[in-house]
Structure 1
Amino acid sequence: MKPLTVKEIKEHLQTVKDEKDPFIEQCKKDERKSVQTLITAWLKKNERLLAMREEWRMMTSFERSLRERGFQWIAGIDEAGRGPLAGPVVAAAVILKEDCEMLGLTDSKKLSKQKREDYYSYIMEEALAVGIGIADAGEIDELNIYEASKAAMVKAVEALAATATPDYLLIDAMSLPIHTKQSSIIKGDAKSASIAAGACIAKVTRDRLMDEYAEKYPLYGFDKHKGYGTKEHLAALAKYGPSPIHRRSFAPVKDYQ
């Protein structure tokens, strides 16, 4: 039988899913250098894929354990925007499908903007339910950032009610005053897929809000720093004073009033 061309091998490798496939062994025995380059690349890619699937298995361990205990509507909750000097704190609650797979999803701060946008689109399309809660700068000043973050999370859970009522909450490093069974998980966005999904939705939602505020208050560059205390932001704050969305209880904002 005439051996496959390198092009044919490359095309066929794209359809192979398992390292135990006889075709892989066949390629390993092929002495052509170009084929060895192809099979080495395939093996490395497959190794990365297996590692990502194992990471996903670990990221869904809390959810699997809860489902084994009978819980079905498990919401992951996280927030974005506790640290900035301006803008709201945004929380999101997400209930994922049991068979959902989002390889590579982790702490949103470790993801590129494009990756966050990609996951955002997928989650909004495929999740069983998504709820978003917002506490603006005024609420933050009135309550303090910790209580305002908690309030935003409660709003996010309440927003789920239009689609689903969660029977268990997985929350990033916080407990909520809600009569629903819950667990607080330190660094939960790196340990729970549901919390990571909530963090991603919260982050993208807040970033988009800050882009809108940049158009409304163009002197501050909110689209660039999202309200965080960068050198550019502090210079604008010193020059123009606080905008209506600045957190006046935060230093150094209160020094420029």
Structure 2
Amino acid sequence: MSRKPSLRVERSLQREGHRILAGMDEVGRGALAGPVTVGVVLIDETCRSAPTGVKDSKLLTPAARVAMVPRIERWCLAHAVGHASAAEIDEIGIIAALRLAGTRALASVDIRPDLVILDGNHDWLTAPDEVGLFAFAGEQAPETPPVTTMIKADLKCSSVAAASVLAKVERDGIMTAYAPDHPVYGWEVNKGYAAPEHMAALEVHGASVLHRRSWRLPGVERDHGPGTGNDGEDSIDDGDTPAASHEPEMSTR
């Protein structure tokens, strides 16, 4: 039986000494076009119950997600959204791109959390290749805070659910903004995911500059490199957005 997210987990972690917590979630991991996007929401003991209705972004209508954003921003201690473009995904792979987007989000808030809560059972934020990864991106590698993972954290933890809403709304907006320049793919509806109209357009028109060209895209000869393939951890999920060098890297309060 599912129940709405709460701060029960966060309060327990705070009692263990982790006063400032960062809930973090991603969207766009399984999309065929656009960036992978990571939201982060920081809370401390002064942040009371999350705004009514906060839940995993997939369980909210688009209008409800948009309406929730200013309420989340007022509620939390700090927040940010980071992106890694399709070109970066092709170059370094989806897991390293998740790390890049997540660390960009963390770098754009001026508060270092004591602990990051990640949805799932895999810590994709922490890795021994951080320095090399950021050298690739032309950025200074920040120190990654400690991380704890939790399966279904987006259904249990208000901070993680709130982060998923911020990430989803921003990425959806990016894909919708790019849709008029690439009308054949239907991004205003599918947000870059493998919907039938998107797959059919790839068969006929091939890939745009915003597609993840190292993935197995219909009608596109596959490139080879670290980002190759969308199997396994690169599986299709539920999201949307872009990839060119002019794509925004982060947004913050």
TM-score with structure 1 setting the length: 0.72
Deviation at 1:104, TM superposition (A): 2.9
Which residue number in structure 1 is paired with residue 22 of structure 2? 75
> 1:1-257 alignment to 2 at 5 Å?
55-56=4-5, 59-96=6-43, 97-161=46-110, 164-173=111-120, 174-175=122-123, 176-177=125-126, 178-253=143-218, 255=220
Deviation at 1:70, TM superposition (A): 2.9
Seen in structure 2, the aligned counterparts of structure 1 residues 69 and 254 have a Cα distance that, compared at 3 Å, is farther
**2 CA distance for matches of 1:80 and 1:208?**
13
Structure 2 SS opposite 1:244: coil
Is the Cα contact below 8 Å between 1:242 and 1:256 reproduced in 2?
A: no
Is the Cα contact below 8 Å between 1:79 and 1:91 reproduced in 2?
A: yes
Once the two structures are superposed, residues 112-156 of structure 1 have per-residue CA deviations (whole angstroms, 9 ceiling, x without a partner) of: 112211221211233210121100001111122122112211111
Seen in structure 2, the aligned counterparts of structure 1 residues 190 and 55 have a Cα distance that, compared at 3 Å, is closer
**1 CA distance for matches of 2:153 and 2:4?**
14
Is the Cα contact below 8 Å between 1:247 and 1:253 reproduced in 2?
A: no
Tell me how large the CA RMSD over aligned residues is: 2.0
Letter of the 1:211 counterpart: T
Is the Cα contact below 8 Å between 2:7 and 2:49 reproduced in 1?
A: no
Unaligned 5+ segments in structure 2 are 127-142, 223-253
Is the Cα contact below 8 Å between 1:76 and 1:94 reproduced in 2?
A: yes
Structure 1 SS opposite 2:29: coil
Structure 1 SS opposite 2:220: helix
Which residue number in structure 2 is paired with residue 16 of structure 1? none
**1 CA distance for matches of 2:40 and 2:55?**
16
Structure 2 SS opposite 1:180: coil
Largest Rg, 1 or 2: 1
**1 CA distance for matches of 2:52 and 2:221?**
45
Is the Cα contact below 8 Å between 1:92 and 1:156 reproduced in 2?
A: yes
Seen in structure 2, the aligned counterparts of structure 1 residues 187 and 55 have a Cα distance that, compared at 3 Å, is closer
Seen in structure 2, the aligned counterparts of structure 1 residues 254 and 146 have a Cα distance that, compared at 3 Å, is farther
Structure 1 SS opposite 2:176: helix
Which residue number in structure 2 is paired with residue 18 of structure 1? none
List, as ranges, runs of 4+ consecutive aligned residues in structure 1 with deviation greater than 6 Å: none
More helix by share: 1
Which stretch shows the higher mean deviation, 145-154 or 196-205? Answer: 145-154
Structure 1 SS opposite 2:31: coil
Percent sequence identity over matched residues? 37
Structure 1 SS opposite 2:185: coil
Unaligned 5+ segments in structure 1 are 1-51
Structure 1 SS opposite 2:117: strand
